[in-house]
Structure formats: C-alpha cells, structure tokens
Amino acid sequence: MSLSQITALLRETLGLDVASVGVSLIERAVKRRVNAHGLRDVSQYADLLQRSPPELQNLFEAVVIPETFFFRYPESFAALQQFVGEHIFFGTQKLRALSIPCSTGEEPYSIAMTLLDAGWSLEKFQIDAIDVSTHLLDIARLGLFGSNSFRGSELQFRKQYFHKTEAGFQLCDRVRQCVNFEQGNVLEKPFRFGSEPYDFIFCRNLLIYFYPQAQGQTLESLRQLLTADGLLFVGSAETSLLAQHSFASVKKMPMAFAFRKSASAAFHALPNKQPKVWSPTSARRTKSYRNPDLAIRKIAVAETVKHEEERVPDLAFAEQLADQGQLREAAEICEVSLREQGPSARAFHLLGLIRDCAGDQHQASDFYHKALYLEPDHYDVLIHLALLKDKSGDSVGAKTLKNRARRVLEQTK
C-alpha cells in the first residue's frame, strides 16, 4: 500500500478531504509513525494500518490540527442563551445538547458555562461531547487548560469557573460534571441510532475538512438528531453548505451561524432579542447593531456612527444586515466604507460573501483576492475562496488555498 492508498483509507474511514490538510502534512505524519514503530518503510506501515484500527486512529490524530478555545464565535453562545430563555421544558424533560467534534473540550464546557450562568441546574440539561480522537478526549476530561484556550479580553468566566495551578487553569468540578465525553465517528452508519434528539447541536469547522459525500452524510445524520425546532451551529466558512442540504439560516440571530431544518425555519423564528452574556462577544457594538430597528431604508447609506464629529460606515452593522438577507443595504455600506475610509480586508470579504450568495462567482473571487492582498492570513477568506475554486473545478487552486489556511491555524497554536 502506497501513500496514496493511505490517504484513500483516511478518506474512506474518516471522510478526510486530503486537500484540506495537504498531502505533505499526511506524508510527514506517516513518516513519524513509521519511525515510532521502527518500521522499514511506508509499505510496512500500510500493512500495520490495515491490521490495527488503533493505529489508524493514531495517524488521524497526527494529521488533525485541533483549533479551539473557550467561547469561540461568541454570538453562538448568545443565541444559545436566547434559545433557552424562549423555550419551556416540562416535568423531567431535559434540554439536550451535542458538541461534535468536541476536541479538547473547550466548546462543550462553554455550553455548560452558558447554561449555568443562565440559571439552569445540572439536572435540567444534558451535554454529550463526541470526538473521533481518544487522545483529545482524555485531555478534555482532565479539564486542565493552557493560556491559548483563553482569548480576548473578556475573561470573567475564567475567574468564576477556573482556578490557577502551576500546570495551567483547572476547570471546576461543577462544570466538568455537566459534560459526557464519548469516542465516536459521525460517519459511522448508523450514527447514534435510537438516540433522543438534541435541542441544539454544535458542529463547527468539521465539514470544511470533509469531501462532499461525507459532508452530505454528516448533515443528514445531524438532521435526524435535531429536534423539530432545534438549532444547528456551524463554522462561518461552512454556512454555504447548509442551504444545499435543506437547512435554513436563523436570520434573527446575526453572526451566530445558526440553522434550522428548512421545514420549520419559517415558523419558529425567535424574537429579535439580544441577551446579555459575559463571553468575549462584549466587543464594542454600535447603537444600530444593538437595535436593528434603527436602520433607515430611505437613505442610500444605512446607519452610521459618529467618531469625533465624523460619520463613518459601520461594517459591523453591514455584517448584521447581510446575515439578515439585506444584501443590497450591506453592500452599500461596504462601498461607502471603501470610498471614504480606503481599502479594507473586512469590507472586501463581506462584499465577496454578498456576491457569492448572489451566484456571481467571478466578482466574488475578485473581492476575496483583494481582501487577501490586504490581509494574506485571513483564514475565513482563504476558506471561502477555496470553496469557490472547488465549485469552479479548480482543484489545484483550492488545494493551495486550503494549505495556506492550514498553515494559518498552525501558527496560532
């Protein structure tokens, strides 16, 4: 069995799109495993892989780069808090949550802290956390985290739920006991057959590593596991995939990347409330962002904010409008921003997303390239442009961009 056959095995068993991590990364990982076992060459190691499922697991763990931290995409946790505030659970019924892949535990523990902070007792909810990596699950169960797991300036939750040790920050038992960690593969058939459905599922930044068939299989499994009005949270670079698989964006939860099953999405939109959270979403927001009703459609340029007697376009508000489907208004703000404030990777990125949604791949690509010229390590732009090149049949260009995105993630570790 050659290296290409090994990559085919990773694709078949784990859904891995080799281009998403790069053949060179797999090659280096294979060489490390060959040396670890004292084997002669790749062919000997390939024979071992066929005989040993645990070794296939070891290789996967050597290839995957877990990128996670507490309250990543904080708007998702704000949406979660809004969800639990709008729903009533009767009797012994529990609110159920799933985090997959859960990696080293920062995401499911963030879910637990959100629910505890919202006043929910442990008896009223259940959180299942699943990952294919047994090594990462062992780290998650330990509940000991380094400084890289805490990003941003809003770290009140660390003071509340952790205590500092010489080895790192130890999570309190109250939060640790909220989460059930399990080893599992979402591509197993059937995945969690017979399980009770979940009220919300976090599956973020997994689909971007899968080839299309595996993406579809995963979303179908998650659809079956989601309650009728439940929420599915994905990563920002994965949102375009959901519409292709009968999910609809919850537009009244801006920047949360939350989706519902299409059949129920139109009937279960939540009120436009902005719940108070203590997670890193506390970055300064404009008045119009906090209250979208202030947007005035009569003027060409939507809501602006004042900075020392100047009026400048509010790109945060433009992002919210785009998430609500008001693409023309969002584009107008971006264009004014570029005209008055000069080139901006943020504005070009949003314009690219808007043209992408409109099906104008050529102009979307142009905007993405302009964003990368200004900010070469912009991870979301790299992934969106890679997906665009995949759609156009440029697999070589897509592979190059995915490799760049992977290196960006590696540099953050």
Q: Is the pLDDT of residue 263 over 90?
A: no
> Where residue 405 sits, what CATH number does that domain have?
1.25.40.10
Q: How confident is the model at residue 98 (pLDDT cuts 50, 70, 90)?
A: very high
pLDDT at 275: 37
Shared domain check, 243 and 317: no
State CA 283 to chain mean position distance. Answer: 19
- Diameter of the chain by CA atoms? 73
Q: What is the mean pLDDT of the chain?
A: 80
Distances (CA, A) of 298 to 251, 286, 292, 323, 408: 22, 20, 15, 20, 42
Return the residue matching tokens 């947007």: 295
Q: Is the pLDDT of residue 308 over 60?
A: no
Q: How confident is the model at residue 363 (pLDDT cuts 50, 70, 90)?
A: confident
> Where residue 197 sits, what CATH number does that domain have?
3.40.50.150
Helix axes 42-51, 23-36, angle to 10 degrees: 80
- Report the distance separating Cα 70 and Cα 359, nearest Å: 35
pLDDT tens digit sequence for 152-179: 888 999 999 999 999 999 999 999 999 9
The reply to whether 82 falls in a domain is: yes
**Could you give phi then psi for residue 231, rounded to 5 degrees?**
-115, 135
Q: How confident is the model at residue 294 (pLDDT cuts 50, 70, 90)?
A: very low
Highest-confidence segment of 6-15, 140-149, 233-242, 403-412? 140-149
Shared domain check, 257 and 156: yes
Sign (positive or negative) of CA dihedral 92, 97, 103, 105:
negative
Shared domain check, 257 and 112: yes
- Report the distance separating Cα 200 and Cα 89, nearest Å: 14
Better-predicted residue by pLDDT, 145 or 3:
145
Q: Are 305 and 289 in contact (CB under 8 A)?
A: no
Q: Are 305 and 286 in contact (CB under 8 A)?
A: yes
Q: Is the pLDDT of residue 210 over 70?
A: yes
β-pair partners for 310 = 307
Q: Is the pLDDT of residue 270 over 80?
A: no
Among 62-66, 76-80, 320-324, name the one with the lowest average pLDDT: 320-324
Q: What is the mean pLDDT of residues 297-319?
A: 49
Q: Is the pLDDT of residue 336 over 60?
A: yes
Give the helix ranges, DSSP H, for 207-314: 212-225, 239-242, 262-265, 287-290
Radius of gyration of the chain (CA): 22
Q: How confident is the model at residue 100 (pLDDT cuts 50, 70, 90)?
A: very high
pLDDT at 88: 61
Shared domain check, 87 and 200: yes
**Could you give phi then psi for residue 11, rounded to 5 degrees?**
-65, -45
Q: Which domain holds residue 12?
A: 3-63
Q: Is the pLDDT of residue 247 over 60?
A: yes
Q: Are 388 and 356 in contact (CB under 8 A)?
A: yes
pLDDT at 165: 95
Q: What is the mean pLDDT of residues 185-197?
A: 84
- Report the distance separating Cα 367 and Cα 230, nearest Å: 34
The proportion of the chain whose per-residue pLDDT surpasses 90, expressed as a percent, equals 25
State CA 197 to chain mean position distance. Answer: 21
Q: Are 78 and 274 in contact (CB under 8 A)?
A: yes
Instruction: DSSP letter for 82, please.
Output: H
Report the domain count for the chain.
3
The reply to whether 337 falls in a domain is: yes
Identity of the amino acid at 76: S
pLDDT tens digit sequence for 365-393: 888 888 888 888 888 888 888 887 877 77
pLDDT at 168: 94
**Could you give phi then psi for residue 203, rounded to 5 degrees?**
-135, 85
Q: Which two tokens stand for residue 90?
A: 């009767």
Shared domain check, 227 and 97: yes
Shared domain check, 233 and 110: yes
Helix axes 23-36, 53-63, angle to 10 degrees: 130
Is residue 41 packed enough to be buried (19+ CB in 10 Å), middle (13-18) or exposed (0-12)? exposed
Shared domain check, 258 and 157: yes
The reply to whether 352 falls in a domain is: yes
Better-predicted residue by pLDDT, 94 or 193:
94
Answer whether the bond into residue 292 is a cis peptide, omega within 30°: no
Give the helix ranges, DSSP H, for 118-197: 134-142, 156-161, 173-176
- Report the distance separating Cα 223 and Cα 242, nearest Å: 11
Shared domain check, 103 and 55: no
Q: What is the mean pLDDT of residues 49-66?
A: 80
The reply to whether 272 falls in a domain is: no
The reply to whether 278 falls in a domain is: no
pLDDT at 173: 96
Q: Are 77 and 106 in contact (CB under 8 A)?
A: no
Instruction: DSSP letter for 228, please.
Output: E
Q: Residue 177, CB half-sphere, CA atoms under 13 Å: how many?
A: 6
Shared domain check, 244 and 103: yes
- Report the distance separating Cα 213 and Cα 261, nearest Å: 19
29 membership: H or E segment, kind and range: helix 23-36
Among 67-71, 226-230, 359-363, name the one with the lowest average pLDDT: 359-363
* Closest by Cα among 107, 115, 133 to 233: 107
Shared domain check, 79 and 55: no
Among 203-207, 271-275, 283-287, name the one with the lowest average pLDDT: 283-287
The reply to whether 270 falls in a domain is: no
Q: How confident is the model at residue 138 (pLDDT cuts 50, 70, 90)?
A: very high
Q: What is the mean pLDDT of residues 131-159?
A: 92
Stated pTM of the model? 0.64
Q: How confident is the model at residue 99 (pLDDT cuts 50, 70, 90)?
A: very high
Q: Is the pLDDT of residue 301 over 60?
A: no
The reply to whether 100 falls in a domain is: yes
Highest-confidence segment of 50-64, 144-158, 167-181? 167-181
- Report the distance separating Cα 257 and Cα 242, nearest Å: 10
